[in-house]
Each structure stands twice: as C-alpha cells, then as structure tokens.
Chains A and B, each alone.
Chain A
C-alpha cells in the first residue's frame, strides 16, 4: 500500500519557469510533511517542510502548499534554475518527527538552460 503518491515521475522545465510537484497521502495521522532534494551521487537532504496547521510555507524560491481537506500537498519552485535539477521526494510522518518517514517515489526534475 503506497501511503504517499507523488507525481509526476519526471518533469522538464525551462530556466525561469515554475516547477510543480504534487503529492497525496492517505493516512490522516500524518502531521509532518517534508520535501527532500537529492543530487546525483548524494544522499537526500531536507529542503523544506510543513505541518498541517498552516496552508503554505515559503523559503526563498521554494513553496509548499498544503490542502488538509484534500490530503494533498505540493512543492512549487519559482524561477527554476539548472542548479535545481535533482530528484525531489515528498514524505510524510506522524508523531511530529522523522520516525518512519514514508516517501513518495520521487520526481526527477530537469531544468534546461
């Protein structure tokens, strides 16, 4: 049973464009929703995270939008840059921490110059 569904599997955008990655979850007990960024040859690293008591969180060019009623959340990358090319994973967990993080299957983002 896949608890976090992520789409699209791959995404190509032009430099300066907006990249949007979507995730949906099933378990209403989830209370922590991080996004991880992974560059080739590296382990994933935390990019940005949100808790369900807010609908949006912005850090620089990266924004998480959260819709609790729809059980969906998304990552928006504004003014996408070639350096943003990476694989992005959404995730969810409960108990407020990273115990048993459940990951989506990942989105490979390519930003063309």
Chain B
C-alpha cells in the first residue's frame, strides 16, 4: 500500500518560530510537492522537487523554504512563522514524467500559528 506520511497531524506554533514540516514517501517517487489548502482557495502549490537537492518555486513560495536531502524525504520550512501561515499543509509525491501519473497525498498537517 503506497504511503505518504506527514510527521504531524496538528501543530501549534508561536509567531516568529522556525517551523519544520516533514514528509516521507515510500514509493520511490522522484517528484514531491508541498501544497497549502485554505477554504475557498483550494490547493496552492508552495514548492516542488523533482530530484534530490532540486527544487522549484510554486505559486506561493514567499515565507517558505524546502529541503530535500534524500529521495524519500521532503521538508517544508517556515523561516519565521506568521499568523497568516495558519493553514492545512499537504505533501504529495508522484513519478517523474510518467504519462497519466497519479499524485499521492499525505493526510495533511494542520498548523496554527498564534
């Protein structure tokens, strides 16, 4: 059974803290993604990575950075958390370049910044 695992389901952090969200996949996927989900705004891409140490900005990268040191692990970093980063964060993975490939999502991390 394929799996994308996010390290936390719920997180509460204080404004200004550095926050790490971790994601691990066990499907040997090249692509990994971080999305942010907000009511009425759908899923918005923050960053994606198609290989180890490779990354590309998505639509809303401001205030975020990412790290991919190993193929199976993709971390999202909030350098200095702010209240407007309170949201649901979803990690996903997929094969690179495959036709009709499917993106597999984790269960999400609900982050609250107070």
Contacts and interface: CB of A to CB of B under 8 A. Distances in A.
B106 A51 contact: no
A48 B45 CA distance: 21
Contacts of B44: 103
A105 B42 contact: yes
Contact of B100 (A41, A43, A96, A105): A96
Interface residues on A, range: 20 to 34
A105 B41 contact: yes
B48 A96 contact: no
Nearest to A107: B42
Given A97-B94, A99-B50, A46 B42 contact: no
Interface residues on B, range: 20 to 34
Contacts of B50: 99
Contacts of B42: 6, 89, 103-106
B31 A43 contact: no
B43 A44 contact: yes
Contacts of A43: 4, 90, 92, 105-108
B99 A42 contact: no
Interface in A75-113: 89, 95-106
B103 A46 contact: yes
